[in-house]
Amino acid sequence: MENVKNGYASFHESDHFKKRMELFKTDPLYKKGVVFLGNSITEQGDWKGLFPEKKVSNRGIGGDNTFGVLARLDEIIASKPEKIFLMIGINDLGSRQWEVSLILENYNKIVDKIRKGTPKTKLYIQSVLPLNDSILKGASYKNKADIIIKLNTELRLLGNSKCAGFIDLYSLFHNGDNVLESRYTRDGIHLLPEGYNLWAEFLKNNNYL
């Protein structure tokens, strides 16, 4: 566990993390609003533009992982959001190379803290998205299809048992071969505008938002 602790400490010293946390101070959360919470995949989404009729806030931080999300929940809980859409875990599996058991341990801590701090909030766990190895540059993120499926299987159980639900975006974005559709991605992991449009339409059509 020492490596995990060291990774966690060094992560919180990253310039991008600190810049995003400073930016959040100038963009306070809405009371009883909607929060998209996660890593760079969430950060790069224009959630206010996709849901202009909603009080939506973006709390994505590039490079974030389950430890990072757990460490910055206080601000989110204090706003007593109506809904939280959480997507986190691909950096845990990729750059950090952490085991699913550790990720799930952190997920349970995240869920328990939110449920205790703001019990009326509807927390949705969104699946980790598939990757496209053929255009991925980061070697540590390649060959992760099996472990992503394993993590999502566990997240489905957690979302359906302790949260408002599990949202299966994985199935929406893969091409039948557990590969992220190339038309939705620019680099094998992050999404193009077409991908965010698909995501938003899915949430709308299924009455999540």
- Percent helix, strand and coil across the chain, each rounded to 5? 50, 15, 35
In Å, what is the CA distance from 153 to each residue of 100, 157, 172? 11, 7, 15
How far is the C-alpha of 28 from the C-alpha of 158, rounded, in Å?
A: 29
Supply φ then ψ for residue 166, to 5 degrees: -110, 130
In this prediction, residue 95 carries a pLDDT of 86
In this prediction, residue 12 carries a pLDDT of 54
Strand partners, 125: 86, 166
How far is the C-alpha of 37 from the C-alpha of 76, rounded, in Å?
A: 9
CB 188 within 8 A of CB 136: yes
In this prediction, residue 9 carries a pLDDT of 42
Domain ranges in the chain? Answer: 2-205
**For residue range 148-162, what is the model confidence (pLDDT) as tens digits?**
999 999 999 999 999
CB 141 within 8 A of CB 100: no
Q: Give pLDDT < 50 ranges for the chain.
A: 1-7, 9-10
Three-class SS of residue 58?
strand
Kindly state the greatest CA–CA separation across the chain: 46
CA atoms within 13 A on the CB side of 198: 17
CB 140 within 8 A of CB 103: no
In this prediction, residue 176 carries a pLDDT of 85
**For residue range 155-182, what is the model confidence (pLDDT) as tens digits?**
999 999 999 999 999 999 997 899 999 9
Q: How many CB atoms lie within 10 A of CB 121?
A: 20
CATH 3.40.50.1000 is right for the domain spanning 2-205: no
How far is the C-alpha of 190 from the C-alpha of 207, rounded, in Å?
A: 25
